Structure formats: C-alpha cells, structure tokens
Amino acid sequence: MYLKIIRRGLYNFRDSYLIYILSCSFAITVLSVLATIVDDPSLQMVRNWHANLKSLMQGMMFIFAFFTFIYMIYVGGFFVKQQRQEFMTYEKLGMSRHIVAVIAFIQTFIVQIVAWLIGMLVAVILQKFFGMLLVYLMHVRMEFRFHFSMVAFHMMFQFFITSALIFSLVNALRVYWMQRKNSKRTRLHLNDFCKSLLGILGAMLFLIGMFVSIPLIQESKQTNVLDEILPGVMVVMLLFLVGSYLIYYGFLPLVLKILEKIKTFSYRGTNLFAYKYLRKRLVQNTSIIWFVTELSALALTILIFCFMGYQIVHSDYSNSYPFEISANQNTAKEIRNELNSNGSKVKKEYSSPVKKTIGQIYNQNTGDYEQRLVMAMPYSSYRNMPKMIRKNNPKINSHQFLEIRGNPQTLYTKYRDAKSSVIIQNQQTINKVKIGAFYPFGSAMFSEIAMVVPDEYFAKLPTKFSDTFYGWDFHGSDKLSHKFIKKIDKKNNPNSIRVKVGSNIEKSSLQEIPNSEDRDWHTNEYNQVPYVRQANARIQIRQLTGIFIFLIFIFSIALLIALGSLLTLKVLLKDDYEWRQLKTLKKVGLTENELKQIVRRETSFLFTIPIIFALAQSVIAAIVINVALKQSSLLSFGMIGLAYIALYGLVGILTFHLSWRSVKQRIN
Amino acid sequence: MVQIIVKNVAKDFGKKKNAVHALKDISLEVEQGEFLGIMGPSGAGKTTLLDIISSNDRPDHGQVLIDDIDMTQQHDRELAKYRRRKMGFIYQSFELLDSLNVQENIILPLVLNHAPKKLIKQRVEHMNDLLNISELKNRSIDDLSLGQKQLIAAARALINNPEILFADEPTGSLDSKSATVLLNYMQMINQREKTTILMATHDAFTASYCSRVIFIKDGSVFSEIVNSGQRTDFFEQVINMQRTIGGGSYFNVPENN
Ligand SMILES: Nc1ncnc2c1ncn2[C@@H]1O[C@H](COP(=O)(O)OP(=O)(O)O)[C@@H](O)[C@H]1O
Ligand SMILES: [Mg+2]
C-alpha cells in the first residue's frame, strides 16, 4: 500500500517531475562531461593544458556543481509542497509522521536515481561530442577519443549517492516539519494598503536606479578607474534588487487591482476573473519570480562581460598581429631567405621606413602634455599597407597626420574627435592630428605612439634612430622551423632606447641603453623587438578562447534551462484550489478559447516580467564594461539580450502548451 | 412545440471492468415552456442526465436534439456558444468562484457575453430585489452559508434570462422560506417568459411545482406523472410514486407522511 501511495504521488505530477528530472539530468550530464574532460588523456597532450586550462575547467566544474546542488535541492521542495494536502490526509488517516516522512524520502530518492542515471548515461553518450566540440573550438588538431575515466566516474558516483541521500533526507524533514507546524503558519501578512505603499516605493527605487545609471554610463566613458564608479554601481544594484522585489511584492498587484476596479476593463469577458487570478498567482510566486529575475540579470551580465572579453581578446590579437610575421631590419633578410628556401607561400611583402624621435603629446587622463617616443612612418608606405589595417583607422590624405595609440580609449568617437596638437622635436607644431588605434605591422612592433606623416615631413626628420619594418602575408602558414626560430632568437637581442627628458622638448634626447634580461622598465624606456610571429600567439589565443566559448556556452545554456524550468514548474504546479477554479469556469460556460486565453495570459505574464526586469537591470553590465574594458557594449548587449528574449520566449511557448495540455486534461 | 428530444441516451463511467452504468437507454421529450421535474434516489443518474442534456457532457450512445439541432454532433466551440446564449445552470455543488465576490459571481455570465454596463446594473438590481440578496453584494463567497450560496448560484443562472434553465437540486440546501421564494420565481419565469425548466430533485414538495415529473431508477425512466393543475393532488401523487419505487431511505421524505 505504501508503494501504491508512492507510485500515485509520482504519477500525479508526472509532467512536472519529467521537467525536473530532465533539467537535473542535463546539469548532471554537463557535470559528468566536465569531470571526464578535466582528466582526459587525449587532452593531456595539448600544450598548455596542464598549466592553466585544466585548473580553469576544474574551477568551473566546482562552481557548476555548487549551482546544480542548490537548484536540485530548492526545486525538489516544490513537489513536497504540492503534496501537502495529501500528506496531511495520510496523517489524519492514522499514519505516523515517521512513515509519511519515509514515503517522501523514498519518493525523492527514486526521482534522484532516475535523474542521475539518465544524466550519467547521456554524459557517456555525449562525452565524445562535447570533447570534439571543445577540441574544435580550441583549434587543436587531434582526435578526441572516447574515454571512460574511472576517477571521474567514482567522483560522480560519490556525489550522486551523497546528494541523493541529502535531497531525500531534506524532503523527508520538510514533510515531517510541515506536519508538525501545520496548524499555525505565522507569516508576516501586511494589509493591502501597506503592500501597495511598499510597491510604489519599490517602483520609485527602481526608477531612481534607472535614472542614476544614465549619468553613470556617461561618467563611465570618461573615467579609467573602476573604483570611482564602484560606489555608484553598488547603489544602483541595491536599488534594483530592493526595487524589483518590492515591485513584485506590491506594485504589480496594485496595478492589477486597479485594473480590477476599473469596470471598463474588468467587466469585459474573462477579465473579470483573469486579473484576480493573475494577481493571486503573482502573490504566490513573488519570491520565485524575483529570484529568476535577479539570476537572469546576473547571467546576462556575465554573458555580456564574457562576450565582450572574447571580442577584446580577439581584436587585441588581430591588432597585435596583422601579419603572419613582422620583422625589423635586423632580422628581415634572414627571415626572407629562410622563407624563400623552405617553400612558404608568401603572398606579399610590405615594408616601410621608420624614424624614432621625441614628441610632446597630450594625455587625456592626466590632462598634461608628456614627452614620449614617437615612431614616424611616411604616408606613401602607409597607403600601400593592406586595407585590413587601414580601415580601422580614420582616413587621411597625403597632407594629414595620423597619430596611433595603443590606448583602447581611442575607440571612443569622442576621443577620436579630440583635437590636440602634437609637438615633434625640432619641428613645427602640428595643430591637427587624427587619432587611430591600429598599428601597421602590429602593436608589438611599436612602442607607445606611432605617427603617419606626409612624405616631405618624414624626409626632414633626423635619421639617427631609423629602422625599416617588414611584414609578410602568406597562403597558409609560415613553415619556419623551431631550429630557425631558436637561432634567430639567439642572435638578435631586442635593442632598447630611452627618452632622456630635458627641461623642454628641444633639450630632450634619445639614447640607446644596454639590454639585459631581467631589468625593471621605467617610463620612457622602450624595447624594440626584432620580429613578431603570429603563430606563437595563435595557439594560445585559440585554446583560451576555445575553452572560453565552450564554458560560456555550457554555462549559459545550463542557467537558462534551470531558470526556465523553474518558471515552467511554477506555471504547471497549481494547487487544488486553482484547479477547482478552472473547472468551475468551464462549468460557468467559458469556452475552450477563453480558458486558453487565461492560461496564455498567465504564462506570458510570468515569463515577460522577469525578462523585462532582468534586461533593465543588466544595464549595470554596460556601465562596468565601459570602465573596465573601455568598449561600448551596445552590440553585445543587444545580441545577448535578443538571444535571451528569443530563448525565454521559446521556453514560454513550450510552457504554455504543456500547461494548456494539463489544464485541458484536468477539466474534461 | 417540442424543444428537447433525448433519444436512447446511455452513459458509462469508468473503465470496462468496473464501469458504472449511470444512464442506460433513456428517451424523453420536453415541450417548450415545460417545467419538468426529474426525480429518483441518489445515484439514479439525475445529474448525469442534466449534464448530458445541457451538453456539459457527451453521451456514449444516443442523441440530444435541442431546437432540432443535434447537440451530440456539434463542435465544442459551438456548444459553448449555444450554452452561453440560451442556457442557465444551477449546479448541485453551486460552482461559485471564491476568488470573486458575490456580485461578481452573479454578473459573470453577462460579463462573459460583453453585455453593456447599464444592462448589467439593471439586471443585477432586479435579481437582488427578487431573491432578497442585496446585502450580500460585497461579501466573499467563503463567508456565505450553504443556503446563501445556493441563492447566489440561482441568481447567476437566471441573470441573463435563459431560454432553458437547468437546476440540479436547487432547493437542497435552502430553508423552506427561501425555497418557496426561489420556486415561485422559477414558476413565474416559466409561465411569463415561457422558459423551459429542467429540475432534478428528490424532494416531493419541490417537485410539486413542476408541470410534469419523470422518475428514473438505475439509469432508466421508471414512470412519469403529469400535473393536472392541483398542486396538493400532485404532491400526493409524487409521494405515492416515490413509495412505489422504494428505496425509501434514499429519500428525504418522512416515512410517516
Ligand atoms: N464523473 C464520474 N465518474 C464516475 N462515476 C460517476 C461520475 N459521475 C457520476 N458517476 C456515477 O454515476 C451514477 C449516477 O450519478 P449522478 O448522476 O450524480 O446521480 P444523482 O445525481 O441522481 O444522485 C452514480 O453511481 C455515480 O457514482
Ligand atoms: Mg446529483
């Protein structure tokens, strides 16, 4: 008979259990896959794997495990709450509290076992797929073989047993406790007036948060230091957190109540019932919706942040390495000979003379003029560079000056338009310079400031510190051997130069300084590398960004599934009272379409609210990114926001269909 | 003119092995403007029969024709429309929405039909006066007694002047005074507005308001009596018929009547 009770409990909520089990299984799958990937033998052969990437993966795995645990334990409690009435009845029928608790224990345990078995099974099936995805994203050329890791399996099994026991125990205790204190539920119940007041306060706080964040965004474009903006961000965050809760708690119910009271709206078809129903559902689920909102906002912020980070790494990478190989005059000849002899397919060779001198440049951050090393190149050589390089800088003609700075601030249009004058040693003041951010030959070849100048101007510059830079484009890769690289490294030490600052710019001078491996670098000391090879960096970048994308991908999908399923479960799990109401509506004469409309409204209401408020709150991401990464985040913000809306919309539609199906079944 | 024709209707509940034959082959005809009583012991199938005639439920076999339309062939959507336009229901279990207050419950059918506010107000005042429930207006359903709930359910059924009224034990929870008020009103609308009324009851006094009473037992029609116009005579006939059917303890009629 106990078995029958357990079976019935599971059967009655089969839709919801299915969703719970599926979302748990997904989390377990991801967890198991991560666990096996961490000590996968084929990945051990990838360079750099041991050093950083493995620990990165491991860290991610633990964070993931933590969230999975929280999710499972929290959502698992829903079912116990649903069966409250039933458990009470058993007790009234004379079953002891212990036995009812044991029933809850067994029920939870069964669900856990099913979830874990499915999860681990799917993990075994998908392991190869995930591994291949990772390897592909890391651009590592190797076969990812299926691998059954005893260590990972053992670990997962332990985790499985402990967590299943813990969850079941927690649910048993929940039931036990529920029965004991069923008579009096002392909960803070404010009257509607106070709630509405708090709600209005919440709406005001939220609005203030929005208004405060606008000047913060403006400010964040100016400042460099995160500390300056941090107090503001904290205040806005607090305003959002408290504000949105109070809005859910008091303001939205108030709005619905007002709609109820306005007879033009409420005396219209199903509205008479629908507003009250929505309000009731909202009041019941305030904390959940809030929880989902805040976590979604957090997830959005993280996603935007990561996406931006990825973009920056990428643009920084192509900024540093526009050519497969760049070299200066010391190494160019050797490299060219080697390229000719080893059969590399050179597409084109670029070159440009470069002269080093001293310039007085305005620094936006300090508001001062500073003397810096300036590396000039003539316009005619710049014009011959590949379009890919020039298109990232503002356009100039043969009489104009282009200043190129590594500072990403230069990406802001405001900065670009700034007209500061530049004074070059022994030359006339240049009044108008355009400012770009993309170095020809890559940022690694230059120090601090590069300038493209008219040809005649270039000719007049002193030639004491001059050089020639070369860049090669290839079909395929460069094919330089390890041995050759070693040889060239040994022969060519980077040479270094210092700006000796005088009382004014005319009295300053450049001097060569001896180079030793481990010296401290000071301001105005510059290092000239003899060559830069893209291939070295590419591997690391690709591996890093590969793992990055892999983790973000998994993490965001898991979070989405978790939060989406939370909402779905909340829509699906109605108590007896709500079922009775829907049945009565049918008897009163509501058509199927009208009932469907009510279900649709409920679903879209519960889904739209978190989406709107989460998007509104992730504006914080924009502020922080503006400061921390010095980039406008509008594009990624829009893209991720749209993706989020689309995915949640999809979950919402699915939920609606499930919900409608169960309603239809119950009322007929 | 015959308004409702029920032909060989049968209905089972449950699965094959332990199926309950709630209705077995019932046929009957109801004239327009008739006040038909349906009597029988508990579990005889009264509620099931009303549900099927009012197209709340579909029969396993047989047909139900209303105004020459075969209701069993209609789509659910059409049925819902038809029910809302032409029918009123007083359910045995009231089926009131406890999230709405009394007045909102009463006006629900009008609001669902997008009736103008003026009409709603006019009708609700009429019902309040008639059933003497105006002071309940703003109460919540949970605070009402069973009898009050039944009155509200009746008010809701009558508010949009239905052509056909289905009443399932409408006086079951009422004291004799309220019962008389309600029954008189039902008789009045039956006579004045020619509303067809189908009423299930197991109370002989209630049944004596009907113009005809059919008796069902174990899912089939057992017999019927027509009211000749003399209520006290008719009441006697009903009591006698109940005795004939037997199963006296099922009836809430005093044995030594
Ligand atoms: N939804 C249902 N499921 C199963 N059995 C039902 C259902 N509704 C009614 N019955 C059964 O059908 C028979 C007739 O019920 P009902 O029409 O309610 O009788 P009455 O209204 O005359 O008391 C009863 O035996 C009852 O148990
Ligand atoms: Mg009945």
CATH number at residue B37: 3.40.50.300
Report chain B residues whose CB lies below 8 A from the CB of A585: 97
Beta bridge partners of A661: none
CA distance A138 to A43: 11
What's the pLDDT tens digit per position in B62-100?
A: 999 999 999 989 888 888 888 888 899 999 888 999 888
How many domains does chain A divide into? 2
Interchain contact, B98 vs A581, CB within 8 Å: yes
Asked if residue B62 is part of any domain, the answer here is no
- Show residues of chain B in contact with A271, CB under 8 Å: 111
User: CB within 8 A of A227, min separation 6: which ones?
Assistant: none
Domain membership flag for residue A103: yes
- Asked whether the predicted pLDDT for residue B191 surpasses 70, the reply is yes
pLDDT at A181: 60
- List the domain range (segments joined by +) for residue B128: 32-45+75-246
Does B108 sit within 8 Å of A584, measured CB to CB?
Answer: no
A173 lies in which domain range?
Answer: 1-187
Domain boundary among A151, A166, A187: A187
Q: Is B201 helix (H, G, I), strand (E, B) or coil?
A: coil
Residue A409 lies in a domain: yes
Burial of A346 (0-12, 13-18, 19+ CB in 10 A): middle
Q: Whose CA is nearest to atom 11 of ligand 1?
A: B22
- Expressed in angstroms and rounded, the spacing between residue B1 Cα and the centre of ligand 1 is 31
Do residue A273 and residue B56 have CB atoms under 8 angstroms apart?
no
Q: pLDDT tens for residues B29-38?
A: 999 999 999 9
Q: Enter the tokens of residue A21.
A: 């089990």
Are the CB atoms for A398 and A379 separated by under 8 Å?
A: yes
Nearest to A591 among B80, B87, B95 (CB): B80
Q: Ligand 1: residues within 6 Å at CB?
A: B 13-14, 20, 22, 40, 42-48
Q: Search chain B and give the residue with CA nearest A582.
A: B97
Task: Give domain status of residue A391, yes or no.
Answer: yes
Nearest chain A alpha carbon to B98 = A581
C-alpha–C-alpha distance, residues B215 and B227, integer Å: 14
- Identify whether the C-beta of residue B34 lies closer than 8 Å to the C-beta of residue B165: no
Answer whether residue B163 shows pLDDT above 90: yes
Q: Which residues have C-beta within 8 Å of that of residue B212, sequence separation ≥ 6?
A: B34, B35, B36, B37, B224, B225, B226, B227
Nearest to B224 by CA among B23, B64, B36: B36
Rounded Cα distance, B135 and B148, in Å: 11
Query: Which residue's structure tokens are 């949009």?
Result: B160
Q: Is residue B237 part of a domain?
A: yes
Q: Which atom of ligand 1 is nearest to the CA of B41?
A: 22
B123 confidence band (pLDDT: 50, 70, 90):
very high
Indicate the residue type of A370. E
Q: Is the pLDDT of residue B42 over 50?
A: yes
Cα-based angle A550, A556, A561 (whole degrees, multiple of 5): 125
pLDDT of residue A198: 92
pTM over 0.90: no
Chain A, nearest residue to B79 by Cα: A591
Cβ–Cβ below 8 Å for B97 and A581: yes
Contact residues for B88 (Cβ-Cβ < 8 A; gap 6+): B109, B156, B157, B158, B159, B160, B162, B164, B165, B166
d(CA B88, ligand 1 centre) in Å: 21
Contacts of A584 in chain B (CB under 8 A): 95-97
The two structure tokens encoding residue A511: 């001097």
What's the rounded Cα separation, in Å, for the pair B106 and B100? 10
Q: Is residue A154 part of a domain?
A: yes
Residue A29 falls inside a structural domain: yes
For ligand 2, the distance from its centroid to the CA atom of residue B218, given in whole angstroms, is 13
Spell out which residues of chain B touch residue A590, defining contact as CB-CB under 8 Å.
80, 112
Q: CA-based Rg of chain A, rounded to a whole angstrom?
A: 33
> Which of these, A298, A352, A140, lies nearest to A621 by C-alpha position?
A298
Interface check for B98 against chain A (CB to CB < 8 A): the answer is yes
Residue B68 lies inside a defined structural domain of this protein = no
Q: CA nearest A447: which of A524, A365, A535?
A: A524
Number of domains in chain B: 1
- Whether B177 is covered by a domain: the verdict is yes
User: What is the tens place of the pLDDT at every residue in B210-254?
Assistant: 999 999 988 889 889 998 888 888 999 988 888 887 654 444 444
Subunit contact A592:B120, Cβ cutoff 8 A: no
Q: How far is B239 from chain A (nearest CA, A)?
A: 33
Give a yes or no: residue B16 inside a domain: no
DSSP class of residue A148 equals -
Q: Hey, is the C-beta of B68 within 8 angstroms of any chain A C-beta?
A: no
Which residues are B20's β-sheet partners? B13
* Beta strands at A401-405 and A433-436: parallel, antiparallel or unpaired: parallel
The atom number, within ligand 1, closest to the CA of B168 reads 21
Q: If you measure from the C-alpha of residue B78 to the centroid of ligand 1, how many angstroms do you get, rounded to a whole number? A: 26
Residue A387 within a domain: yes
Q: Closest partner residue to B80 among A267, A277, A592, by Cβ?
A: A592
**Domain's final residue, options A163, A187, A211:** A187
Question: What pLDDT score does B251 carry?
Answer: 44
Chain A residues within 8 A (CB-CB) of chain B? 263-264, 267-273, 276-277, 280, 581, 584-585, 587-594
Within-domain flag for B8: no
Per-residue confidence (pLDDT) for residue B255, from 0 to 100: 35
pLDDT along chain A (668 residues), means of 10: 79 82 86 78 62 71 82 84 79 81 88 89 82 73 68 82 89 81 57 88 92 79 67 87 93 91 84 88 88 85 75 69 83 86 84 90 75 91 86 84 70 52 83 82 82 91 88 80 82 80 84 71 79 74 73 75 82 79 85 89 90 86 68 76 88 90 84
Go through A634-664 and write b for each residue having 16 or more CB atoms within 10 A of its CB, e for each that does not.
eebbeebbeebbeebeebbeebbebbbebbe
Q: Does residue B2 register a pLDDT over 50?
A: yes
Could A581 and B84 be called an inter-chain contact, meaning their C-beta atoms sit closer than 8 Å?
no
Task: Report the separation in Å between the CA atom of B168 and the middle of ligand 2, taken as the mean of its atom positions.
Answer: 7
Per the CB < 8 A criterion, the answer to whether A325 and A335 are in contact is yes
Task: Output the CA torsion A382→A383→A386→A387 (10° steps).
Answer: 120
Distance B156 CA to ligand 1 centre (A): 24
* Domain annotation covers residue A101: yes
Instruction: Specify the DSSP class assigned to residue A442.
Output: -
10 Å CB burial of residue A464 (0-12, 13-18, 19+) is exposed
Is the Cβ pair B112, A280 closer than 8 Å?
Answer: no
Helices (H), chain B: 46-53, 76-86, 102-112, 117-131, 146-158, 176-192, 204-207, 231-245
Ligand nearest the Cα of residue B247 is 1
**Contacts A–B by Cβ distance under 8 A:** 64
